[in-house]
């Protein structure tokens, strides 16, 4: 059985909007976001596994422990993620102390 894990996914859509300046272009893109995402069938997607709430905050400060992931059964990310990053494991020395208590 595969266990679900949280992944931060960044989707990038491209569009051309008619506007008077950059600010107006951003406003119009926001207003037409649903249409843009429907028309751009091949957005660029990049996924990163999330291993802690601290990592999630570094990727996007708008996400926190109370947020819910899309497609999951858990009520919030705080239920599945530890607060701090897990320690890094050095695989080149992982067996160096295998017999040590």
For residue 55, what are the CA distances in angstroms to 3, 18, 62, 73? 20, 37, 12, 21
For the chain, what is the mean pLDDT?
A: 86
At residue 55, the 3 state secondary structure works out as helix
List pLDDT tens digits, range 34-82.
Answer: 999 988 778 889 999 999 999 999 999 898 999 999 888 878 999 989 9
Average pLDDT over residues 25-29: 96
| Helix boundaries (H) for the chain | 22-31, 33-39, 53-59
pTM: 0.65
Instruction: Quote the radius of gyration of the chain (alpha carbons, Å).
Output: 20
CB atoms within 10 A of CB 47: 10
pLDDT of amino acid 88: 74
Measured CA to CA, the distance from residue 74 to residue 84 in angstroms comes to 19
Give the model's pLDDT for residue 100.
Answer: 57
**pLDDT at res. 73:** 80
Reported confidence tier of residue 94, pLDDT bands at 50, 70, 90: low
Phi and psi angles of residue 39, each rounded to the nearest 5 degrees, phi first: -80, -35
Q: Residues 68, 74: contact at Cβ < 8 Å?
A: yes
What's the average model confidence in pLDDT over 23-34?
A: 95
């Amino acid at each position: 059985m595969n266990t679900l894990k949280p992944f931060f996914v960044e989707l990038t859509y491209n569009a051309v909007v008619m506007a008077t300046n950059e600010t107006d272009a951003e406003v119009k893109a926001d207003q037409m976001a649903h249409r843009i995402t429907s028309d751009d069938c091949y957005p660029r997607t990049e996924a990163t596994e999330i291993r802690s709430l601290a990592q999630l905050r570094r990727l996007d400060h708008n996400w926190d422990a109370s947020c819910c992931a899309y497609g999951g059964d858990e009520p919030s990310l705080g239920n599945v993620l530890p607060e701090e990053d897990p320690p890094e494991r050095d695989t080149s020395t992982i067996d160096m102390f295998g017999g040590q208590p």
